[in-house]
Amino acid sequence: MWYTRRGFLKGAVAGAASGGGLGLFGSAAWAAGSPDADILNFALIKEYLESDFYQRATASGQITDPAERSLLQALLSDEQAHVQAVSGAVGQLGGTVVAKPGLRYQAGTFGSRDSIWKTAHAIEEAGLRAVLGQAGNLQTPAILQAAASIYGIECRHSALTALVVGLPVEGGVFSGASETPMTRADATAALAPFVASWPNTGFAPAGS
Amino acid sequence: LDRLPVCLPGTIVFGRARDRREFLRLAALVGVGAATALVPAAIGQAAAPTSLQFGQGDPGILRYALALEYLQAEFYARGVQSGTMGSVSPIVTPIAQHEAAHVNLITNTLAKIGEPSLPKPKFKFPNGTFSDSTNFLKVAAIYEEAGVKAYQGQVTNVKDKSLLAAAAAIAGTESRHAAVIGYLLSKQTLPGVTEPSGTMAEVMAVVQPYLAS
């Protein structure tokens, strides 16, 4: 397995050495070796991707409808805020903040409005399912609360990106009566086409 | 019917202004540069302004969620039956199915863990709620946002991790509903960088006017 948790362990050691540096979240969970920082780093890769994607989408000039431009602007600012918040939380937990990876997009991704919204929807969908898959694994209450909040926002993003581009209501705008979680491996595989070089945080796709 | 025939209004305002205060709210949530950690409120301690009794612990949270799902399920079922949904029918119909499924899911979960269910409360809706789709969507927006707040508000109170995952899976669907209803109303569509969260007392204060008894 590539899940080395090196970054987390390094941070945990640093945190333990600093003695009480993690008091904000309570040191007990950290003494037990919570994987929260590592999970957050994975979420951060997803947030980097989303933020980067909406930045490029904005720069493409393909989104011209005023309502859609407003949506795009809101999506971008949400994701930028998520990047900052998640980065900050990883550091706060004593973890090593993963660097923004190299990102790649299929040719033509930003060449049309339809392609932009459909790709956005695919990324949002994978992202929210990835976070949901970790719901039971997060240990720190404040981190769990923040992750749940970000997840809910991503669900809104997924629905709206599907709605504006006219994807089917069920299986697009909605995803049945409840969301489907993804394992970390599946989520990594789903995002792999966009991530040119996986940061060495233990989340590299198996076999790469 | 699987494609949305709804015309997209051109005057939609997506989200409210992203101000610094809002970012700070998220920052505080995850403890970035903040001096305070969130302390989860103990479930059931604050008296909810309602005649409904949910009980304590995870079963109490389930019965609380069930009350909200009962409300939504009845509301959407009546919306579908009303025949007045028009162009938003392709959206309202699946939502009605989702809410009915949520009622079943929570009821079954309570049965599975050997806990009593919550009898379905009697609900009342404002006059004209089902006479046109705009009235209907306005009420729907209230319920969906209350539902999101309720789930978000209980995230750190749920003890059982598998239950938490199941509740989160439902909550995400409610977030989608809230976004889409907001969109159809041409109003606030994205709440900002974080989902709203509410205590049981806050949420039940919103729901109370719709309880008949």
ipTM of the complex in this document: 0.82
Given this model, what pLDDT does residue B194 score? 87
Q: Which pTM value belongs to this model?
A: 0.82
Beta bridge partners of A170: A174
pLDDT, residue B34, reads 33
Residue written as token pair 């629905």: A159
Q: Return the pLDDT at A65.
A: 93
Three-state DSSP at B15 gives coil
For B51-60, what is each residue's pLDDT tens digit? 789 999 999 9
A84: contact with B, CB 8 A cutoff: yes
State how far the Cα of A33 lies from the Cα of A4, in Å rounded to an integer: 14
Residue among A150, A157, A179 whose CB faces B169 most closely: A179
Residue of B157, B193, B197, B199 to mutate, interface with A, max A Cβ within 10 Å: B193
CB A98 within 8 A of CB A7: yes
The single residue listed with the structure tokens 């606030």 is B188
Interchain CB contacts (distance < 8 Å): A and B = 214
Cβ–Cβ gap A136/B179 under 8 Å: no
Q: Which residues of A touch B7 (CB under 8 A)?
A: none
Whether B6 and B184 have beta carbons less than 8 Å apart is answered as: yes
- What letter would DSSP give residue B83? T
Task: Quickly tell me which residue has 């004209």 as its tokens.
Answer: B128
CB B178 within 8 A of CB B148: yes
Contact criterion met (CB < 8 Å) for B180 and A179: no
| DSSP code for A136 | T
Alpha carbon separation from B65 to A70, B9, B92, B107, B111 (Å, rounded): 33, 33, 20, 10, 15
Backbone angles phi, psi at A86, to 5 degrees: -70, -40
Q: Which residues of A touch B33 (CB under 8 A)?
A: 88
The answer to whether the CB atoms of A159 and B13 lie below 8 A apart is no
Q: How far apart are CA A49 and CA A109, in angstroms?
A: 14
Q: What is the distance between the alpha carbons of residues A94 and A77, in angstroms, rounded to a whole number?
A: 26
Q: How confident is the model at residue B186 (pLDDT cuts 50, 70, 90)?
A: confident
Q: Which two tokens stand for residue B30?
A: 């995850």
Range of lowest pLDDT (A34-38, A81-85, B134-138): A34-38
Q: Which residues have CB under 8 Å from A122's CB, separation 6+?
A: none
Is B172 in contact with A132 (Cβ distance < 8 A)?
Answer: yes
Categorize the per-residue pLDDT at A196 as very low, low, confident or very high, splitting at 50, 70 and 90: confident
State both tokens at B142. Answer: 């209230």
**Residues in a beta bridge with A103:** A195
- Chain A residues whose beta carbon lies within 8 Å of the beta carbon of residue B161: 135-136
Per-residue DSSP letter, A195: B
Region of residue A87 (left: phi > 0; alpha: psi -120 to 50; beta: else): alpha
Q: Which of B34, B168, B179 sits opposite A151 (nearest CB)?
A: B168
Rounded to whole angstroms, the Cα distance separating B156 from B38 reads: 10
pLDDT at position B156 over 80: yes
Distance CA B23, CA B192 (A): 9
What percent of chain A lies above the pLDDT cut of 90?
Answer: 73
Of A70, A146, A179, which has the smallest distance from its Cβ to B172's Cβ? A179
Partners of residue A54 in chain B, C-beta under 8 Å: none
Amino acid found at B182: G
Asked if residues B65 and B150 have their Cβ atoms less than 8 Å apart, the reply is: yes
Residues of B whose CB is below 8 A from A78? 18, 190, 192-193
pLDDT band at B188 (very low <50, low <70, confident <90, very high): low
pLDDT recorded at residue A199: 77
How far from each other are the two terminal CA atoms of chain A, in whole angstroms? 11
Distances (CA, A) of A57 to B63, B69, B98: 44, 37, 32
